[in-house]
Amino acid sequence: MTTNDTICAISTAKGMGAIAVIRIAGENAFKITDIIFKPAKKGKIITEQPANSIHFGTVCDGDSEIDEVLVSVFKAPHSFTGDDIIEIACHGAPYIQQQLLQLLTKHGARLAEPGEFTQRAFLNGKMDLSQAEAVADLIASQSEAARRVALQQMRGGFSSELMQLRERLLWFISMIELELDFSEEDVEFANRDELNELVDEITSHIERLVKSFSLGNAIKNGIPVAIAGHTNAGKSTLLNALLNEERAIVSDIHGTTRDAIEDTINIEGISFRFIDTAGIRSTADAIENLGIELTYSKIKQASIVLLLVDVTDADEKIHEAIQNILSKLESDHQQLIVVVNKTDLAKDDEIERRFSHNAFKELTGNNTILPISAKFKTNLDNLTIELLRTVNLSAIDSDDVIVTNARHHEALSNALESITRVKEGLNSNISGDFLAQDIREVLHYLGSITGQISTDEILGNIFKNFCIGK
C-alpha cells in the first residue's frame, strides 16, 4: 500500500525564526522544485542532481523572487519516506513560509496531513509501526531519559525483540497445522516439550515487557511524586524549595492548601512531576474534605509518595500517619519516602535516635526515612539522590526494552493472556487445532504492535496525533 501524491508541509516549528524548512515528498517533488527554483550556479537542474546534495539559489514565482534558499536532495528509495524528497531551507518569516507553500500547491503538490511523511515511511517499509510511534515520542520527549528510550525504540530495539518471538512461534504453528493435515495418521511434527520450553521463555519475555510499562509510562509523562502529610508539615514549603520559586502559598494557618498543585522538575535527565496535596486531618469543612479526598486519590496514582512528618510531632502521631499512607498504596511498585521535616527545631542526636529505620517496624527495606529542613533547604540534595534511587536507572542505561506506549502495553497484556492459555492447553494435552488458535492470537497481538497486522482505523488514530510536517 503506497501513495504517489506529492505532499508538502512546513517541518520546523510554527512562528518566526532564523530558518524554516519546507519538506516536499512524492513522485513530482523534483519536477515541481525545478519549476520554482533557480540555482545560483548554472548547470544541471534538480532532477539531474546527485542524491544527498545541497544547492543554493532563489525561489521564484515566475519573474518574482520570493527568497534565497538552500535545496537538499534525497532520492528514492534512500530517503526518510522512501520517496523522492526535497527540503527547502528558507528564511523563517511566516509570510515567506506561506508564500512557498502556496507556490508548491499551485504547481501540483498538496498540503500534507498530520504525520503523513512518517506514515509514508511506514507504508513504504522504511520503518515498522512501533518505530513510527517512537518518532512522535522522540519529538515530544522532555527529558534525557525519555529521549533515550524513544531513540532506542526508533532504532528498532523493541521491534527486533518482538519479531524474534513471532518467528519462533510461527515455526511451531506451521508444524502444528501440518499435523492437522495428517490428523488421520496420528503423527507429531511439533515437539510438545520444545513448545513448552518456548512458551515459558516467551511468557517470561512478555511479562518483563508488560511490567516495564510502569517505568516507561512514568519516564514518558514524568514520574508522579505525591507530597502528603498532616497540615502544616511543610509540604508547600518543600515544593517551593524543590522548584526554587514560590509556587504554593505557605501559611501557619491549618488547611491552607485545599487543592492539588503540580509542577515538574528535571533531575539528571529524569522528569519528576511533584504534586503538593491538601493536608490530612479531621475537619468539618466540606471544601477541605474534598481536598483531602483528592489527596488520597493522588497518593494512589503516584509512583513515589513523600510523606512529610513534623520532627516535633509525637511518635504515635507519626506512626499513625505512616500506617495511614501505607494502607492507601495499591501497588508493590509504589515507593514511600518518610521525610522528617523541620530538623532545625531538634538536635541531631534526638533526630538520629527517634528516626532510625528500626524505630518504624511498619516500614519495609524498600522504604526510606530522610531528615530535612525544607525552610532552610537542608539535605535536599539527599532527597533528590533518594528520588533517583527509586527509578530503575540501570534499565534505562542498558539495552533493555522499556514499553512507554499504552497501545503496546494493551497488546502485550492481551498476548500474555493468550500465551497463558497456550501453556494451560499444553498441560491439559488439548488438540492441536485449539493450540493453534491460541498461538494465532499471540501472533496477532504481537504483530499489531509492529504493524504486521494493522487496520486503517489503527493507523488513523496513531498518525492523527503527529505534528504536520513529520
Spatial contact of 149 and 220, defined as CB atoms under 8 Å apart: yes
Q: Which residues are annotated as a binding site?
A: 23, 87, 126, 232-237, 251-257, 276-279, 470
Query: Mean per-residue pLDDT for 222-237?
Result: 86
pLDDT tens per residue, range 11-39: 998 888 899 999 999 999 999 999 999 99
* Per-residue pLDDT at 64: 94
Angle between helices 286-301 and 315-328 (to 10 degrees): 60
What band does 97 get if pLDDT is binned at 50, 70 and 90? very high
Q: Which residues are annotated as a binding site for K(+)?
A: 232, 251, 253, 256
pLDDT higher than threshold 60 for residue 203: yes
What band does 369 get if pLDDT is binned at 50, 70 and 90? confident
pLDDT tens per residue, range 377-410: 899 999 998 888 887 665 565 567 889 899 999 9
* Per-residue pLDDT at 264: 85
**Mean pLDDT: which of 102-116, 185-199, 260-274 is highest?**
102-116
Q: Which residues are annotated as a binding site for Mg(2+)?
A: 236, 257
- Side-chain-side CA neighbours of 429 within 13 Å: the count stands at 1
Q: Which residues are annotated as a binding site for GTP?
A: 232-237, 251-257, 276-279
| More confident position, 302 or 39 | 39
Class assignment of domain 7-127?
A: alpha beta
Three cell numbers written together for 375: 525552610
Residues in the chain: 470
Query: Mean per-residue pLDDT for 461-467?
Result: 78
Mean pLDDT across the chain = 84
Q: 222-397: which CATH number, 1.10.3720.10, 3.40.50.150, 3.10.20.740, 3.40.50.300?
A: 3.40.50.300
Instruction: Tell me which fold the domain 135-216+405-451 belongs to.
Output: Four Helix Bundle (Hemerythrin (Met), subunit A) (1.20.120)
pLDDT higher than threshold 90 for residue 108: yes
Question: What residues does each domain of the chain span?
Answer: 7-127, 135-216+405-451, 222-397
Pairing of strands 223-229, 261-267: unpaired
pLDDT tens per residue, range 163-199: 888 888 887 777 776 666 555 555 455 577 788 888 8
For 342: left if phi > 0, alpha if psi spans -120 to 50, otherwise beta; the answer is left
Q: Which residues are annotated as a binding site for (6S)-5-formyl-5,6,7,8-tetrahydrofolate?
A: 23, 87, 126, 470
pLDDT higher than threshold 90 for residue 411: yes
Spatial contact of 470 and 117, defined as CB atoms under 8 Å apart: yes
Cell 515528498 locates to 25
